[in-house]
Amino acid sequence: MAGEDGGSRRNLDEQITVAVVITCIVAASGGLIFGYDIGISAVNGAAQNAAPVYLSEVAPPKWRGAFNSGFQLFIGLGVVIANCINYATAKQPWGWRLSLGLAAAPATIMTVGLLIIPDTPSSLLERGKIEEAEKSLRKARGEDVDVRGELAQLMKATQLANAAIEEPFVTILERQHRPHLVLAVLIPLFQQVTGINVIAFYAPVLFQSVGFGSDSALIASIILGLVNLGSTLVSSFLVDRFGRRFLFLEGGVQMFIFQIAIAGVLATTTGATGTEHMSKSNAIIVLILMCIYAAGFGWSWGPLTLLVPSEIFPLKIRPTGQSISVAVNFAFTFLLSQTFLALLCRFKFGAFFFYAGCIAIMTIFVALFVPETKGIPLDSMHVVWKQHWYWHRFVKEEEA
């Protein structure tokens, strides 16, 4: 967009209003119940499906990554709270009832929040509510900002989406959407094979197996959760400055190195059979290595797995693409959570070499096939595919 519209676009890209901050915080708080459920070992998918898309549509393009990372930040907060409650009630016979029952608290926060936040401009335009869409956009961007250029682009995208004859699940299989679909499937799949969720699920068991007592194992889980929470906060400051690819690559290299290090320490201290006793000092070393590994995940594959799929799809298939991404995430979460203990018992320290190999593969994939989306407006995202060395051959048809 050039000239007058271009200037307007740049101004609204940088504009952050109180309304959009409050709206994004409330929307991101849906991650709180999801994170709490991870800590208690339940699941909640509706928030993970809707919140990232909502945040991407409402947030200013320049700061979209930071606002979207808020959902992962609340997930981390929920995990820490759940682990603290588990620790406090571990020796009480009614502790498990309290842990499960307190899930109502974040659910209540999310429900009340839904009554406060407005619909996104894109959603309102899809239902033909143009005046309400303009008010919503003006509220998000600021009353002193000319939003006519952005509104016109959103209306154009909405018209194209409404003109689509085929169902979204058919449209998403078309050749021009192949790049989007590949990333929507592989990014959440790769996130799971980093090994982070199985460590989160089984951290108490894992730390008991390497020398911590039952109470110490729960404390170790809290420490890991705090590290993940802090690193996600770091990600929110870096993602819009250095870009998605930088964090993906740096986090991948960091996780690879420390998965190898964890495997090495376990191999030398517990032996090939994994049955030798590990000293407390070596167990602390394992904890430190896992914390550095968790930090690498927390500022890369943690928030970016939700952010990237929510911003790469065109409007007509954005909810469909996000739902596929979330479904893949949950499917592999279930699969790996059911197989991790068997993998650990069978291969001992070799399980961490397995995850390190997966991390190496996915880091190479990012370097070759994941384009940079930092600061690109959602309605202009097709440009990144058109300019990509490999994916451009698929989107030429759409551009024509």
Neighbours of 165 (CB within 10 A): 6
Distance CA 167, CA 154 (A): 21
Residue 41, pLDDT score: 42
Residue 8, pLDDT score: 44
Neighbours of 218 (CB within 10 A): 21
Residue 19, pLDDT score: 61
Residue 283, pLDDT score: 79
- Per-residue pLDDT in tens (0 to 9) along the chain, 400 residues: 334 444 444 444 556 676 666 666 655 554 455 454 544 444 455 667 788 888 888 888 888 999 888 888 888 888 888 888 888 887 788 877 887 788 788 778 877 877 888 888 888 888 888 888 888 888 877 777 778 888 888 888 788 777 765 688 888 998 999 999 999 999 999 998 998 876 766 666 667 766 666 677 778 778 888 998 999 999 999 999 999 999 999 999 999 999 999 889 888 887 766 667 777 788 788 888 888 999 999 999 999 998 999 999 988 888 899 999 989 988 888 888 788 778 877 888 888 899 999 999 999 999 999 999 999 988 888 889 999 999 999 986 544 4
Distance CA 33, CA 71 (A): 11
**Secondary structure element (H or E) that encloses residue 72, with its range:** helix 64-88
Give one word for 59, left, alpha or beta, with left for phi > 0 and alpha for psi -120 to 50. Answer: beta
User: Do 125 and 150 touch, CB atoms closer than 8 A?
Assistant: no
Express each pLDDT in 52-71 by its tens digit. 888 888 888 888 999 888 88
Residue 26, pLDDT score: 57
Residue 282, pLDDT score: 81
